[in-house]
Structures are given as C-alpha cells and as structure tokens.
Amino acid sequence: MRRTTGFVIAGLVVALLLAGVVSSFASGAPDGLDSASTRGCTVDAAGEITGGTCMAQGAKEHEVGGPFADYTFTGAGGDFAATAVSGVVGVLVTFALAGGLFWATRRRRAPAQ
C-alpha cells in the first residue's frame, strides 16, 4: 500500500468519526444566516416568528423534503442515531464523488515501450 492510500484512508476514518460521533454534540443554536434573517422579528422559544418585520417571514418548509431533511435521517431511532447516520452518509457520498472526480481527471502514465 502506498503512503498516499494510507493517508486517504486515515482521513476518511477521521471524517467518519467526526461525522458519526462529534456531530451529535454540535450546537443547536441558529447559525449566522438563521440569526441574521430573523433580525427585526420577535421569536418564541420554539424558534417560531411571532411578530415584527424580518427577512425570514416569507420562509417556508422545503417542498421536496426527503430522508435527510434538517441534517437528520428520518429512518433512524433516536436523535443521536439520526444525526450520526446523516453525517456518515454525507461523508461517504462526498468521498465517493470526490474520489470519482479525481480518478476521472487523473494523469495517465504513458505505456512503457
């Protein structure tokens, strides 16, 4: 096994651990965009807009939905498992797409004569 292969595998393992375990401990507080879009509105404890004027008043739920909506996998048992599965699948899909792109665009060696 080449050093590069070992490095890529180690990076994949670290990314899977971070996505599967550490992501469940991330803050549930609104990120910068959510916070900025509700500026000027009054928001209750559940995060619902109750008054005022802000950019987020016209926001609605995503029309397509899907099994990974809101960064969780709806088929998993609890919150921890739902976030872990979603993170792991995201890492694997990203790794597969990036790996496929690198493989397709790699430099080919000239055949030995």
pLDDT tens digits, 47-90: 788 888 998 888 877 777 677 766 777 777 777 888 888 889 99
CB-CB contact of 19 with 87 (8 Å): yes
CB-CB contact of 44 with 50 (8 Å): yes
Domain ranges of the chain: 3-105
Q: What sign has the CA pseudo-torsion 89, 90, 91, 96?
A: positive
Place 101 in a pLDDT band, splitting at 50, 70 and 90. very high
Mean pLDDT on 34-49: 84
CB-CB contact of 49 with 37 (8 Å): no
Tracing tokens 């996998």 back to the chain, one arrives at 73
Q: What is the pLDDT of residue 79?
A: 78
Percent of the chain with pLDDT over 70: 90
CB-CB contact of 95 with 15 (8 Å): yes
Q: Is the pLDDT of residue 110 over 80?
A: no
DSSP structural state of residue 17: H
Q: How many CB atoms lie within 10 A of CB 13?
A: 10
Mean pLDDT on 29-58: 83
